[in-house]
Amino acid sequence: MSFNWKNRKLRVAALVFLMGTGATFASAQTTAPVQPPAQTQQVTPVIKAVPAAQDKEEARLKKYLDKNGGYKDNEGGYYDPKAGTYTDKEGGIVDNWQGYTYKDGSYKAATGDYWDAPTKTFKLASGEDLKSDDTTNEEAIQTLRETAAEAGKYNKDGIQTAMMARIKLEHPLVPVTPKKPSKPT
């Protein structure tokens, strides 16, 4: 099964999916074991061990990053993990709140709410439209991001996770070569 990376909506959906799944798996793995109380309790730092294979793979993937720590994918998009954004080749921006900013300043939040910049109108997922002539694009986007964060849509490492997954996809460890079908005997 192949994935059509030329479709912009599918690329954005895949990026949002990768951002959402990374936090779920990471949070499930970070709980420390509960220790029974001892008579004399010693304070020791919790050391998180990272397998050596994971360190090697991360080092291998980091060689594809540019001097700013970002990555330009083969579709013309750019990951900027410091800013927490992915800019597609059309100029739209996906952020760590799983929202999408259009070139005209409009913003589609992960909650389904939408800021229509040209008409200065909030179009809420509930179907309600709110006109707000005195609201700037930055204020509207900030409001929608706060709402998305309250709904659990914020992932501070979402773009970083998606970027590393994209590098891994575009630069596999072992080049994949198709196998020739064997002749029936």
Residue with tokens 């460890």: 173
Mean pLDDT value across residues 4-28:
56
Of 44-53, 95-104, 125-134, 157-166, the least confident: 44-53
- Residues 106-132 pLDDT 10s: 999 999 999 999 999 999 999 999 999
- The C-alpha atoms of residue 10 and residue 176 are separated, in whole angstroms, by 24
- Residues 24-64 pLDDT 10s: 544 454 555 555 555 555 555 555 555 566 778 888 889 99
Q: What local confidence, expressed as pLDDT, does residue 54 receive?
A: 73
Taking each helix axis from N to C end, the angle separating 158-170 and 52-62, rounded to the nearest 10 degrees, works out to 80
Two structure tokens written together for 72: 């330009």
- The C-alpha atoms of residue 155 and residue 172 are separated, in whole angstroms, by 25
Q: What local confidence, expressed as pLDDT, does residue 26 receive?
A: 47
